[in-house]
């Protein structure tokens, strides 16, 4: 049984990391710089980023991909992943909007949509891929 959660963690993590790094380093970078450039670090705190990804993917596995895989319902992973991503990203974005001067509503809304979409796709893909290996 321990093999399945680890497999789901790894599969979702692979999908999530590749797409998120493309977004952060290339596709969305200009948007973040234009909107909140003065708030951005020159170089990311890699330890904090690693901690985020590990905790986030553990939550995604526990609350989304494992239940959807167990139920045999990839669509459940898509919907629950979108909800999980929206709630998690909104926690960060709305808190930042409340307490960080210069954090914009536009970036908060874009980031929440990104978190919901990326998490939904990663969860769905992980469940579909895991079914191929199970």
| pLDDT at res. 1 | 56
- Percent of all residues in the chain with a pLDDT value above 70, rounded to a whole number: 99
Q: Write the DSSP assignment of 31-55 as a string of letters.
A: HHHHHHGGGS-SS--HHHHHHHHHH
Rounded CA separation 130/68 (Å): 11
pTM value? 0.95
pLDDT digits (tens, 9 = 90+) for 15-58: 999 999 999 999 999 999 999 999 999 999 999 999 999 999 99
Q: What stretches of the chain adopt beta strand conformation (E)?
A: none
Could you state, in order of their start, the residue ranges of all structural domains in the chain?
Answer: 3-133
pLDDT at res. 93:
98
């Amino acid at each position: 049984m321990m093999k399945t959660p680890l497999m789901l963690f790894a599969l979702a993590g692979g999908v999530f990391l590749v797409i998120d790094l493309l977004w952060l380093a290339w596709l969305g970078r200009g948007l973040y710089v234009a909107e909140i450039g003065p708030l951005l670090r020159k170089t990311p705190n890699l330890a904090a980023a690693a901690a985020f990804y590990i905790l986030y993917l553990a939550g995604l596995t526990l609350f989304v991909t494992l239940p959807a895989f167990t139920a045999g319902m990839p669509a459940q992973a898509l919907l629950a992943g979108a909800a999980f991503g929206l709630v998690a990203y909104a926690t960060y974005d709305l808190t930042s909007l409340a307490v960080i001067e210069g954090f914009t509503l536009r970036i908060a809304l874009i980031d929440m949509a990104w978190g919901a979409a990326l998490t939904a796709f990663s969860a769905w893909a992980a469940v579909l891929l895991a079914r191929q290996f199970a």
